[in-house]
Amino acid sequence: MTERETTRLVAWSQELRQVHHRLREALSVTRASLADGTPGQAATRELLLYCHGFCTALDGHHRGEDRTLFPAIAAAHPELRPVLRSLEQDHSMIAHLLGGLRTAVERAAPPEELDHHLEGIAALMENHFRYEEKQLLAVLETLEPAAAPGEVLGPI
């Protein structure tokens, strides 16, 4: 394997870390927006904007993994299929929580309720990211998916 090929493979694991970092930051900004306590419609509009961006990015990241990355890992490392199933279950649970947050934001739920939704997403997302990084980063350094990183890891 050439140095360029090795660099490209290692870049996949670094890209996954970076995407997770950006999603963590997006959630932090969303929570900070809520904590600012801007009254009335301005706060709702701002939270809708943050939520839409964050929810879209996280959902896109998980769909890319489910559609492209996980099948490539399963083909190259069948022993990781139970890990991948667990991660896919997390994706489903996170999607459900994101749906609840979207609904709460659209009906202008009180800040305490919105924070409750964000807290649940944050807890599951952080646990999911840590597990995924622990289980898959080394594998990503040996795997070369055919698709571009943006297609595989989402549009963030």
Distance, CA of 145 to CA of 103 (rounded, Å)? 35
Tens of pLDDT along the chain (156 residues)?
Answer: 444 444 444 466 777 788 888 888 877 877 777 777 655 455 556 666 666 777 788 888 888 889 888 898 899 899 999 999 999 999 999 899 989 988 888 887 887 888 899 899 889 989 998 998 899 888 877 776 666 666 666 655
Whole-number Å distance between alpha carbons of 15 and 12: 5
pTM of the shown model: 0.77
Contact 134, 20 (CB under 8 A): no
Q: SS3 for 49?
A: helix
Q: Which two tokens stand for residue 8?
A: 């490209």
